[in-house]
Amino acid sequence: MTTVVRVPYVPGFARADTAGRAAKTAGRALRERLPRSAQALLPPKTTDRPDAVTAVEHTNAGRLPELTPIRVGRMAAGPFAFLRGSAGLMAHDLTTAPVTGIGAQLCGDAHAANFGLYGDARGGLTIDLNDFDETLHGPWEWDLKRLATSLVLAGREAGAGEDTCLAAARDAAGAYRRTLRLLAKLPVTDAWNAIADEELVSHTDARDLLGTLERVAAKARNNTSARFAAKSTVRTPDGGRHFIDAPPVLRRVPDAEAAAVITALGGYLDTLPDDRLPLLARYAPHDVAFRVVGTGSVGLRSYVVLLLDHRGEPLILQVKEARASALAPHVAKAGFEVPEIPHEGRRVVLGQRRMQVVSDTLLGWATAHIPATGTAGDTRTTETAFQVRQFRNRKGSVDPAALTGEQLDDYARMTGALLARAHAHSADPRVLAGYCGKSEALDDAMGSFATAYADRTEADHAELSAAIAGGRIAAERGV
């Protein structure tokens, strides 16, 4: 007589009696409620949709006012640049688009320029998503639609034909779909740790991109704290170093502001694993500077902190302001719960860790009380949440708007595969693979959506450009 051992259900684990096919079947069943072809739908603009200028002005609120003209100027550089700075506006448009209801940890700003190379703890290079300012749990489709749209805009900027741009958007979705099918078939631990390095290039058959990636990788290996410090700091009489002003991108800050940032690093240490503390204990802070970064991030407080070891070798940390995700109000309207966020820097860090296979070993968060910049004797401070990470950690990136048609298509497949792997950490790849399926129905839908939304973005960009020319909004170009 065979004895059947009944295994109790333990919360946090899968049920022992759950069939492996059930998840994929559930995903396939979603097609009846929401056909994949419906993903092509771009709903008309709602009456409460802000115009492009109002949207930019809204997102400029709370930023350092002297820097917002730089942000506007960078967004006005072209439709692709406008998309990069308008994640919230696109999320607004997506709230009325159909969704499957499958949730995943979103990058929130998964455009084609937010993928790249960075260093791991052993000196190797990893390819992955690398910007998580807007990360939040929400509809997986939103990230894929933003990626596909950005590829169309990047291709148009590079002078590619419409067929090439459409093919890139479709192939990003196709790679996303095929990668999910691959991950769904693998043992869980293999799927969890899959394709975050050069193996991805062979998986996506990105041969035309190999030369570009090799050049980017060679440049990334030299993109270090030491190299940045050599260019941006000078020796002091006491043997230390301090930053050199290079306005408006880099400037030293008043002593009180520098002290507030350095003091905040004490709380940052509490967010790191204990085994990292002896490493940082061997460095001493020497200087702090303000550094303008990105397109959408311009106007946020962003500091670089110079640390030196006993030999005078530098390690530079970036301490970057973390604001509420631009997606938060829109994700809620799409039917996804937005939990209370105790600390915006923590949200960014945890979202990054949930999506990447390998994350920065010194990734953490902090709270700083930044002094007011009013009159002398003003003792007011502003409590600000920050994310903290290594600066120039062998980072390298591909400019998608500078790729040839063949390279753009390869890059589309690579980024689509990376996005699928990142989503598979928080959404069951079997469910997603069940919905996405074997046919090219999803690819076609995403390509159609991307083309339509790229047209809308071009119209938004033209509206912003006209407002700049008419003096409605200030812009500083070329910075």
471 vs 479: CA distance, rounded Å: 19
Which residue's structure tokens are 């990003």?
172
Give the 3-state secondary structure of residue 354: helix
Which residue's structure tokens are 């390869």?
410
**Considering only CA atoms, which of 383, 349, 370, 343 is closest in space to residue 261?**
370
Q: What is the pLDDT of residue 193?
A: 82
137 vs 128: CA distance, rounded Å: 19
The predicted model scores a pTM of 0.94
Decide the pairing of beta strands 302-308 and 314-321. antiparallel
- If you count DSSP H runs as helices and E runs as strands, how many of each does the chain have, helices first? 18, 12
**Considering only CA atoms, which of 71, 92, 463, 473 is closest in space to residue 296?**
71
Contact 271, 366 (CB under 8 A): yes
304 vs 292: CA distance, rounded Å: 10
DSSP character at residue 326: T
Give the 3-state secondary structure of residue 268: helix
Specify the amino acid at residue 437. Answer: G
C-alpha 347: how far from chain center? 13
361 vs 359: CA distance, rounded Å: 6
C-alpha 303: how far from chain center? 19
Contact 239, 312 (CB under 8 A): yes
**Considering only CA atoms, which of 178, 155, 206, 202 is closest in space to residue 440?**
178
For residue 185, give the H/E element and its range. helix 162-185
What number of CA atoms fall less than 13 Å from residue 392's CA on the CB side?
A: 20
What number of CA atoms fall less than 13 Å from residue 442's CA on the CB side?
A: 27
In the numeric block, which tokens belong to residue 76?
A: 């006005």
State phi, psi for 141 to the nearest 5 degrees: -60, -30
Q: What are the 10-residue block averages of pLDDT along the chain, 479 residues in total?
A: 62 65 88 96 96 96 95 97 97 96 97 90 83 97 98 98 98 94 89 67 65 82 89 90 94 95 97 96 97 92 96 96 96 92 97 93 97 72 96 88 93 93 95 96 98 98 98 93
In the numeric block, which tokens belong to residue 370?
A: 């930044």
In the numeric block, which tokens belong to residue 8?
A: 């109790």
178 vs 80: CA distance, rounded Å: 27
Sign of CA dihedral 321, 327, 332, 333: positive
Contact 411, 209 (CB under 8 A): yes
| Three-state helix/strand/coil letters over 248-274 | CCEEECCHHHHHHHHHHHHHHHCCCCH
Specify the amino acid at residue 405. Answer: G
User: How would you class 143 by CB atoms within 10 Å of its CB: exposed for 0-12, middle for 13-18, buried for 19 or more?
Assistant: buried
**Considering only CA atoms, which of 36, 56, 93 is closest in space to residue 453?**
93
